[in-house]
Structure 1
């Protein structure tokens, strides 16, 4: 088994000063200490290592072979220690670290993109790992503490321990074929969609459950004729006249050919929330949360 050295880093700093000055008096002045204690500490270091580091002359010292090796290694070691301590201080101040951030696809569109861009630009030592997941999956990963925070729409009925803050206001729009008769209206009452055919995401998505709830509040159940895994596929189906759907207004930015968007007569929120465990907020996550919620 290799020996475990218990050498104070201070001894290495003393050694480095003498090794670079090659003179105990100049090294002592550089360290702002008297010469006798410095000589004692260097002798102590040599005793601990069991080897001579300097050949001492009356007016100067010369490094031994072991001393030359220790000079190279101690420079690297002390540099690494300083970098590590500086890094830890940065993390403590929230200026460095890593964030595992769950997102739904459209969270990175519109104003949210600009906020995240500025945060990353202002914090170059912070790494944000974006993990695109459904809301249900994000919640599971938050409970397992595999995510630091998650961003999704209509974050409701959260389990104990998780909290939310709104980060972006949004509303649901009606997405329909651009030749649909309802495109003639400036806004659309939800009740007018009673007899429409809907194209939706699968039932595991929060959008599906939301569609069921809002339609039932308007007095009908949506007639779902097709499902697609990706929102882009939903838009493609709508452009081919296969049905309509309700989508967050951020999707309108895609300007999908053959698809028209109209607001609902009664605004239905599609706000984005950041969800996290309050007791697990690190300084670096606190910085991101502040950036996200300032624009809400």
Structure 2
């Protein structure tokens, strides 16, 4: 299918008039009508109902409009990535919690060392990044290690990160006194949605111990998890990379969650493995991560060793 047909269709749907859409698209009205007729023939049904005032979508047209918009957005991004290969385009997904220990120094170094690379950063919690990977939008992505990774991506274990619990200062949490899951039994939790690996790990760990999983707030935004914990609405569980003054201020306390870890891995889009920008980005991830682990700012982190698998995500 010609993607232009979908573009024409959506413009007619938005303006409610073939005449108005034709003028907006710099097409003649008969030409646009032929395009719409061709799309209706390809779809096997009418997409518009003609009225005296213009056109309105049929039920089939509404379905196509809902499906066509994300398809066109993804097609546009794919064209952008393919077209920019020569110039060096890199799309990378990075967890929000990595911002201060990794993302900021990585982006600054990439800009200085490889000014020819056009960088696009997607930042989010793991389940959101997984959706981007499934859509093929990312060249590289950092996410929890997965025994059954997303199709089309090769993964390499990077770092083993200690999990921590944080909340308002009044909760009395201190780094010198690790918590266990038994300590979470009496607390309400602020945590991402069910599709998030950290949420799944915490909920499963409590349930199999016969403890209650008490949900206070469900949000897929790190800033909101911390803000609601700061206000005393409950405790939140985070990776150790979030132990930074920019995230956890003096009005909050935190403690390690004893014996609980997350292994982060690098996922590489195999359809883009030939890209020089991807290879440069991958090399810089390795050096930036090594610096982050050696400068002492990343609490409890160490290079990943999958032969030492304990209770972790």
- TM normalised by structure 1 equals 0.59
Q: Aligned to 1:269, what secondary structure does the other structure show?
A: strand
Relative distance call for 1:148 and 1:230 in structure 2 (3 A) is: same
Aligned twin of 2:235:
244
Q: Is the 8 A contact 1:202 1:229 kept in 2?
A: yes
Write the distance in 1 (CA, Å) between the matches of 2:175 and 2:269. Answer: 46
CA spacing shift, 1:257–1:227, aligned 2, 3 Å: farther
State the superposition RMSD in angstroms: 2.7
Task: State yes or no: 1:287 paired with 2:280.
Answer: yes
2:225 to 224, 234, 239: 234
**Structure 2 match to 1:159:** 150
1:112/1:168 contact within 8 Å kept: no
TM-score using structure 2 length: 0.56
Query: What do residues 192-248 of structure 1 show as CA deviations (whole Å, max 9, x unaligned)?
Result: 222222122233433322321333354424211222342222222222222112111
Pick closer, same or farther for the CA change 1:138–1:176 going to 2, 3 Å: closer
Alpha-carbon distance between aligned partners in 2 of 1:112 and 1:156, rounded to the nearest angstrom:
25
Residues in 1 aligned to 2:212 and 2:283: alpha-carbon distance in whole angstroms:
40
- Picking from 214, 217, 232, the partner of 1:223 is 214
Change (3 A) 1:159 1:202: closer
Deviations 1:73-130 (A, max 9, x none): xxxxxxxxxxxxxxxxxx77xxx50111122222332144323422331111111111
Match for 1:274 among 266, 286, 311?
Answer: 266
Q: Residue 100 of structure 1 contacts residue 131 of structure 1 at CA under 8 Å; is this kept in 2? A: yes
Residue 265 in 1 paired to residue 258 in 2? yes
Contact 1:115/1:291 (CA < 8 Å) preserved in 2?
yes
Tell me the alpha carbon deviations over residues 173-195 of structure 1, each in whole angstroms, 9 at most, x when there is no partner.
01122122454952222222222
Q: How many angstroms apart in 1 are the aligned matches of 2:283 and 2:176?
A: 40
Check if 1:121 corresponds to 2:106: no
Paired residues of 1:176 and 1:239 also in contact (CA < 8 A): yes
Shift of 1:154: 4.3
Structure 2 CA distance, aligned partners of 1:148 and 1:98? 9
User: For 1:229 and 1:143, how far apart are their aligned partners in 2?
Assistant: 18
Residue 279 and residue 112 in structure 1: after superposition, are their counterparts in 2 closer, same or farther (change >3 A)?
A: same
Please tell me whether the aligned partners of residues 165 and 293 of structure 1 are also in contact (alpha carbons under 8 angstroms). Answer: no
Distance in 1, matches of 2:209 and 2:127, equals 26
Q: Tell me the residue number matched to 1:32.
A: none
Aligned partner of 2:188 among 182, 197, 200: 197
Give the number of the structure whose alpha-carbon radius of gyration is greater.
1
Distance 1:243 1:272, change over 3 A: same
Contact 1:107 1:272 in 2 (8 A): no
